[in-house]
Structure 1
Amino acid sequence: MRRAKKLVGAAMAAMLLTGVTACSGEAKDEGVIDVWIGFTDYRLDWAKERAAEFVKKHPDYKINVEGYDTYETLFDALTAATQQGKPPTIVQNFEAATQESRDAVNADGDPLFVSVEKAIDGRDEILGEPVVLDDIVEAASSYYTVDGEFSSMPWNTSTPIFYSNSEFLEAADIEPPQTWEELTEACDAIMKLKDAPKSCISWPNHAWFPEQVLAEQGGLLANADNGRSDRATEVDMTSPEWLSWIDWWKELNDKGHYYYSGVQEDWDGPKNAFGGQQVAFLMTSSGDATAVVGDAEKTGFDVEVSMLPRFADKDYHGNLIGGATLWLVDGLETKTQDGALAFMQFLNNPENAADWHKTTGYIPITNAAVELLEKEGWYDERPYHKVATDQLAQTDGSPAATGVLLGSFVAIRAEVTQAIEEILTDGADPADRFAKAQENAQKLLDDYNALYVG
């Protein structure tokens, strides 16, 4: 899961409102594939290396991979390029913007993006690259299958997992907590240590985390089965399932056990606090597993990685995915579209999917990649890399655990993080503050749906 700003939704909304045309303007040369992704670090390097390998196999094609610092800047650029009739070929978009991507239209009222499953059209291979769509792991397959069809091509998929500093566990004579109640007890024990850390635990103030615990309990964020059986028209942030964990979070914060960096959607602050041994526990994306464990080893301590805790007295339904998929722009020449589809399959073939997992910590996206890693003994030496896959495999397949499809989801998430900040820093009452947040979120959803309904 990566940082996603409110303006991402604004950029996409601008695209929807202006009715920009994906296919107008100067035609792109056949076989030129422009890929825009929201990475500028080692993950961009990895993608460029795979693109070079693909072109070596398919010399009739040219692939340009361009990285952006955030999804916000990526979609600002996408909006401008599409308005000029020069969109890229493939665009990475994170899971929360799935509904907006599906709704984006060109000036003719046709979808800006074409479903990858529709474009593949039942083929087993494209340009000699085996199609892997049917082998995508269940959690990602369920999320991105909408109206019975894969909307986009999964690539970087994550889920939040739990990281423990082994030194603090040993000093307090405790195991990694498996429930939220055990986490409270663990923090009480650790903060009583002679050499206690500054705080017990940290995680980003991001809506993804309360969404996770809502899903664990089988709660829904939106009506129409979380937007799965029909377009979602109502959002709910006042349910007992939602508020129970917000109340727990506030109590942990009031005790001084939770470290808040003071910045909404800050992924680096909590991770740095854990790496600097200022906190004993960290909750963050499995996509950061390689970095979190590697940084700890450099500092000189071991990390135990486990599944996200659950409420002890509630039935467990599953945890949600994060990350992003690759969307295919509609209206491409046949050669270009086939090349783009083949490149998507190449990125996710067993060897590449396994290497992507090793490099980043994102889950191996296909079952074949999981099997390859197991055969290689990768998990025997690095069991922490298997935690995310095992966690997602426990989902019960319900709408709650599959994840919500929601218009203006990015802006709605911003309402959540603002409410949480006021609860943590100003002492706002969770029930009262989220009643207000729900009003704001409902207006955002109503305004969004007004573009498509009625």
Structure 2
Amino acid sequence: MRLKRTVTAAAVALSLLATSVACSKSDDAKGDGQIDVWIAFTDYRLDWAKQRADEFHQKHPKYTVNIQGYDSYEVLFDAVTGAVQKGSPPSIVQYFEAATQDARDAVDKDGQPLFVSVEKAINGRADVLGEPVVLNDVVDAARNYYTVNGEFTSMPWNTSTTLFYANKNLATKAKVDKVPQTWAEIKEACGKIMKLADHPKHCVSWPNHGWFPEQAVAEQGGLIADNDNGRSARAKKLNLTSPELLNFVKFQKGLYDSGDYYYSGKQNDWDGPKNAFAAQEVAFLMTSAGDATAIVKDGQTGGFGVDVARMPYNGDVPYAGNLIGGATLWLTAGQEKGKEDASLAFMQFLNNPTNAASWHKTTGYVPITKAAGAQLETEGWYKDHPYAKVATEQLALTNGSPAATGVLLGSFVSIRAVVTQAIEDVLVSGADPDKRFAEAQLAAQKLLDDYNSLYGG
């Protein structure tokens, strides 16, 4: 597989361990009737996917869908690399949005494109094996992100955005009348909350992960890369020293220095901030909409209640929009026609209105089709669960610019790691943001240059 990253021994070991959570189908079911689907979930989301696979098999007895779960997108990414090198890739792969350019550039062991565009494979059909095609009904934010050079590349599934969660009890005690909508309002609210006699350990938290500064840059209308964020042509130049990026880093540093921001001390740690919020050790949490259902339940269990709101933005500049997160399903090229159709049919089945609505209710991810959103509205779901609509409403506010659509980069995973390390150095080691991100710019640009020298055409 022609990807920048290589498979380490550890990654291979992890990929082998992941078979323990594979969907319980017979190992000798290999062949044209088996659709192997690899996803980056090993929790209740894997269980949900297995149930849909069983239901699909009942409708289409000729085909057995094997759902195999991995511990993270990164581990899955490496496992696919190893499988391609052996000539045995799965039929469908779930890649997170940061791997979009890598997926487009990936090739099989014979040097042919590893994936085929889902839109091209559907070829205008209204249904595949009797499953209505829902690709054309995908919500705009996801459609726009995964449409490259005018072609819808993959089937979006778990689509999220960043939301802001508030502890109702603490906010009420501190007389914070509304959930903060801007960075300035976060500072103001934290000032009140941390003056409480029984104030939490810290005021606010979010993971140290590259997605959050990317969101902040998009909100301010800034670009991460040239060529319209890699959308009008392949991205060749990064900009990690932009005012938009540094504005956010300095905002985060100010909160950290004042003791308001809680950093778990671990990069890419999604559980630490979420657990701190559940334990009422912080009053506010910024994290994925994909955790909305679980976070609201934590508030109910903890007896403090949760308000859910848009991701706060820099109120000093015009708002451009927020980005999607999550992942999409890629169709492996070169499958026998019947098997390819079965793979396409499963993608459509997984995202039909009923299943997309169920997935949203179970997780908090955005209803991926407009029909699913309409069904939820008709059912009264949003009336009873108003928090569940916030992510969809936020994504609808985009101005449609390249900034708010999202960047496409080769070696994006590694570039994110450079940004994450730089933020940690600013927070923990006291590095000067301007100098540290000048260094990050050089390191990240080298990664992009190396990637493009191999795959830039």
- What TM-score, normalized by structure 2, do the two folds share? 0.93
CA contact (8 A) 2:131 2:349 kept: yes
Which residue of structure 2 lines up, in the alignment, with residue 10 of structure 1? 5
Which residue of structure 2 lines up, in the alignment, with residue 319 of structure 1? 322
Which residue of structure 2 lines up, in the alignment, with residue 279 of structure 1? 282
Structure 2 CA distance for aligned equivalents of residues 231 and 158 of structure 1:
25
CA contact (8 A) 1:39 1:70 kept: yes
Structure 2 CA distance for aligned equivalents of residues 389 and 411 of structure 1:
29
Which residue of structure 2 lines up, in the alignment, with residue 20 of structure 1? none
Match of 1:382 among 376, 380, 385: 385
Quote the offset at 1:453 in angstroms: 3.2
> What SS does structure 2 have at the residue aligned with 1:155?
strand
Quote the offset at 1:299 in angstroms: 1.3
Match of 2:101 among 78, 95, 99: 99
Tell me, yes or no, if structure 1 residue 69 matches structure 2 residue 71.
yes
Structure 2 CA distance for aligned equivalents of residues 347 and 12 of structure 1:
30
CA contact (8 A) 2:84 2:109 kept: no
1:233-281 residue CA offsets vs partner (Å, 9 max, x unmatched): 0000111111111111111111000000000000000000000000000
Which residue of structure 2 lines up, in the alignment, with residue 348 of structure 1? 351
Quote the offset at 1:187 in angstroms: 0.5
Tell me, yes or no, if structure 1 residue 444 matches structure 2 residue 439.
no
Label 1:213 to 1:12 Cα distance change in 2 as closer, same or farther (>3 A): farther
Structure 1 CA distance for aligned equivalents of residues 151 and 397 of structure 2:
23
Which residue of structure 2 lines up, in the alignment, with residue 5 of structure 1? none
Q: Which amino acid in 1 is paired with 2:117?
A: S
> What SS does structure 1 have at the residue aligned with 2:42?
coil
Which residue of structure 1 lines up, in the alignment, with residue 15 of structure 2? none
Which residue of structure 2 lines up, in the alignment, with residue 306 of structure 1? 309
CA contact (8 A) 1:319 1:392 kept: yes
Match of 2:149 among 147, 150, 162: 147
CA contact (8 A) 1:12 1:104 kept: no
Q: Which amino acid in 2 is paired with 1:337?
A: E
Which residue of structure 2 lines up, in the alignment, with residue 197 of structure 1? 200
Match of 1:138 among 116, 140, 159: 140
Structure 1 CA distance for aligned equivalents of residues 4 and 95 of structure 2:
11
Which residue of structure 2 lines up, in the alignment, with residue 215 of structure 1? 218
Q: Which amino acid in 1 is paired with 2:241?
A: T
1:194-238 residue CA offsets vs partner (Å, 9 max, x unmatched): 111100000000111111110001100000000000000000011
Q: How many residues align?
A: 435
Quote the offset at 1:403 in angstroms: 0.2
Q: Superposed, which structure 2 residues align to 1:170-249 within 5 Å?
A: 170-174=172-176, 175-249=178-252
Structure 1 CA distance for aligned equivalents of residues 125 and 6 of structure 2:
34
Which residue of structure 2 lines up, in the alignment, with residue 159 of structure 1? 161
> What SS does structure 2 have at the residue aligned with 1:195?
coil
Which residue of structure 1 lines up, in the alignment, with residue 16 of structure 2? none
Quote the offset at 1:285 in angstroms: 0.3
Quote the offset at 1:109 in angstroms: 2.9
Q: Superposed, which structure 2 residues align to 1:407-446 within 5 Å?
A: 407-446=410-449
Match of 1:336 among 334, 339, 355: 339
Structure 2 CA distance for aligned equivalents of residues 127 and 325 of structure 1:
21
Structure 2 CA distance for aligned equivalents of residues 51 and 453 of structure 1:
37
Structure 2 CA distance for aligned equivalents of residues 208 and 49 of structure 1:
30
Structure 2 CA distance for aligned equivalents of residues 411 and 439 of structure 1:
13
Which residue of structure 2 lines up, in the alignment, with residue 19 of structure 1? none
In angstroms, what is the RMSD of aligned CA positions? 1.5
Match of 2:118 among 99, 103, 116: 116
1:274-318 residue CA offsets vs partner (Å, 9 max, x unmatched): 000000000000000011111121111100000011122211110
> What SS does structure 2 have at the residue aligned with 1:451?
helix
CA contact (8 A) 1:11 1:75 kept: no
Structure 2 CA distance for aligned equivalents of residues 76 and 224 of structure 1:
29
- What TM-score, normalized by structure 1, do the two folds share? 0.94
Tell me, yes or no, if structure 1 residue 399 matches structure 2 residue 374.
no
Structure 2 CA distance for aligned equivalents of residues 252 and 343 of structure 1:
46
Structure 1 CA distance for aligned equivalents of residues 380 and 6 of structure 2:
44
CA contact (8 A) 1:9 1:97 kept: no
> What SS does structure 2 have at the residue aligned with 1:314?
coil
> What SS does structure 2 have at the residue aligned with 1:221?
coil
Which consecutive unaligned segments of at least 5 residues does structure 1 have?
A: 1-7, 15-26
CA contact (8 A) 2:85 2:108 kept: no
Quote the offset at 1:28 in angstroms: 5.9
Which consecutive unaligned segments of at least 5 residues does structure 2 have?
A: 10-28
CA contact (8 A) 2:180 2:189 kept: yes
Structure 2 CA distance for aligned equivalents of residues 312 and 451 of structure 1:
41
Which residue of structure 2 lines up, in the alignment, with residue 79 of structure 1? 81
Identity %: 66
CA contact (8 A) 1:191 1:200 kept: yes
Tell me, yes or no, if structure 1 residue 263 matches structure 2 residue 258.
no
The list of structure 1 runs, each at least 4 consecutive aligned residues, that deviate by more than 6 angstroms after superposition, is none
Q: Which amino acid in 1 is paired with 2:154?
A: S
Q: Which amino acid in 2 is paired with 1:50?
A: R
Quote the offset at 1:12 in angstroms: 7.7
Label 1:343 to 1:156 Cα distance change in 2 as closer, same or farther (>3 A): same
